[in-house]
């Protein structure tokens, strides 16, 4: 049993029963003092931990959110099986390929010589194409939330990655002024 203190309860009009064929949603607002048994939502063998508060989004004028990390064993049948190599459909074959098992990155079939953090940064950007990441988000995700540093660290690593991608593909990592960076996948011509 866990006490979930998150969003205020929604008005009763939004909590009406869903249509018979509507998908079942696991998210709903809870009252501040409501006790919820979250174990019924977890697959067998899974465990859960409270998420660090700084990793959760904040909404102006709203109470803080509560989040959990759900850990599922790798051999669980409930875990969606995916190929560890990031792939796109054949018609849009990527020029940058990340293999998280072998910890290699390839550009046009040639392996890139990356440091540990350069690989982690590139793998994160490639896994979330066209999404803008702030420097703080990248520091938290790639370096870990205990990292002491600033956004300049990200800038230096992005510059190194761009050099290693070469003149032709360096624009795949784009600067979004006053925000951060985004990865736009280059495709074969």
Grade residue 1 by pLDDT with cuts at 50, 70 and 90. Answer: very low
pLDDT of residue 53: 74
pLDDT of residue 187: 66
Coil, strand, or helix at residue 146? coil
Q: Rounded to whole angstroms, how far apart are CA atoms 143 and 153?
A: 10
Give the torsion sign (CA, 70, 76, 77, 81).
positive
Residue 175 covered by a domain: yes
pLDDT of residue 16: 43
- Which tens digit of pLDDT belongs to each residue from 34-59? 777 766 667 777 777 777 777 777 77
pLDDT of residue 120: 92
Residue 145 covered by a domain: yes
Give percent above pLDDT 90 in the chain.
21
Residue 7 covered by a domain: no
Coil, strand, or helix at residue 182? strand
Q: Which helix (H) or strand (E) holds 49?
A: strand 47-50
Residue 62 covered by a domain: no
Residue 60 covered by a domain: no
- Which tens digit of pLDDT belongs to each residue from 141-158? 888 766 666 668 889 999
Which CATH number do you get for residue 141? 1.10.10.10
Backbone angles phi, psi at 162, to 5 degrees: -60, -40
The pTM (predicted TM-score) of the whole model is: 0.51
Number of domains forming the structure of the chain: 1
Range of the domain at 153: 90-183
Give the torsion sign (CA, 167, 173, 175, 176).
positive
Residue 68 covered by a domain: no
């Amino acid at each position: 049993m866990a006490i979930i203190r998150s969003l205020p309860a929604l008005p009763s009009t939004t909590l009406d029963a869903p249509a018979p064929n509507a998908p079942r949603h696991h998210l709903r607002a809870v009252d501040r003092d409501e006790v919820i048994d979250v174990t019924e939502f977890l697959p067998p063998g899974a465990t859960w931990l409270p998420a660090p508060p700084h990793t959760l989004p904040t909404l102006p004028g709203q109470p803080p959110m509560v989040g959990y990390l759900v850990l599922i064993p790798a051999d669980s049948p409930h875990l969606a099986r995916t190929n560890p190599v990031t792939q796109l459909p054949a018609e849009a074959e990527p020029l940058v390929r990340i293999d998280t098992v072998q910890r290699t990155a390839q550009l046009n079939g040639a392996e890139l010589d990356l440091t540990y953090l350069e690989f982690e940064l590139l793998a994160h950007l490639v896994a979330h194409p066209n999404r803008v990441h702030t420097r703080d988000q990248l520091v938290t995700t790639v370096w870990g939330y205990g990292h002491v540093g600033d956004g300049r660290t990200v800038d230096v690593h992005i510059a190194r990655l761009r050099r290693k991608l070469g003149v032709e593909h360096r624009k795949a990592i784009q600067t979004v002024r006053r925000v951060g960076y985004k990865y736009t996948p280059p495709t074969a011509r």
